[in-house]
Chains A and B, each alone.
Chain A
Amino acid sequence: MDEESLIEEVVSAHRERGPHGEVRFAPAFHDLERDARRSAFDRSVEQRRIEALLDPQGLSTTGHAVLARIQKRP
């Protein structure tokens, strides 16, 4: 996969959980060089702004992912 696609993968709010429930790094993050990681961060900021502005509750997909996680917990 090329760098652009790896960056877009990191921009996703989906993160796998580890065996103890910890939030894992996106696998694609480890395949990126430092500059590309920073690009992924910048694009995530832009993306979350768009998401929050479109969402009726003003939440980004990160916010929704965290809320879903909280509500799944016993």
Chain B
Amino acid sequence: MTPEYRDQLLPRIAAGDVQAFALWLSSAEPRIRLSLSRFASSVDAEAVLQETLLRLWQVAHRVEVDPQGDALLRLGVRIARNLAIDHVRKLERTELVKQLTEQAAPDADSASPAEPDPLLRAVIQRCLEALPAKPRMALSARLENHGQEPDESLAERLQMKLNTFLKNFGRARQFLLECLRGQGVDLSFQSEAEG
């Protein structure tokens, strides 16, 4: 999805169109997540990201398309950064705050999230089907639940101990990544530690 297309979605998002926001999210969420990479050892990036996306939805009606483009995404990167710094401040990590605030804002376009691709989805689906039963159950439980319930509930439903559920989930992802590498698809990621 291009920045221009994301901007085209802005009026619909501002008018409260959830489907337009979902479309925007599919492209913007990975970019905002990666912008939090340098805070990853200090803050829970998932929590900061979700808070950011909720705030973007709330303020979208006040955001205007500008010549720089990608107005909502750029705002999202700023909100995420500010929230992360607030959390770091609360943790009284003043030295780290100084170091991080002195760094330039990340380039939101540098991230390259996976775009929907039916062929790639079919490859992943095949790898998913090849998973051993219990890891597949753990992974599917989280996928289908969409983050609505804690792992304790999902584990209980699968009649697994929480620790077993978590181990199975980790194995499932490892297996999937290895299976995909075998198919020539590398989705692995390793961030750089902050210096």
Contacts and interface: CB of A to CB of B under 8 A. Distances in A.
B116 interface: yes
Given A14-B151, A25-B44, A54-B125, A63 B37 contact: no
Nearest to A67: B22
Interface in A14-43: 14-16, 22-26, 29, 34-35, 37-38, 40-43
B125 to A, nearest CB: 7
Interface string A47-62: 1111111100111111
Interface residues of B, number: 62
A29 B187 CA distance: 24
Contact of A57 (B22, B142, B151, B188): B22
Contacts of A1: 162-163, 166
14 contacts: A13-B142, A14-B148, A23-B51, A24-B47, A35-B41, A38-B191, A42-B40, A52-B26, A53-B187, A61-B142, A61-B145, A61-B146, A63-B26, A64-B147
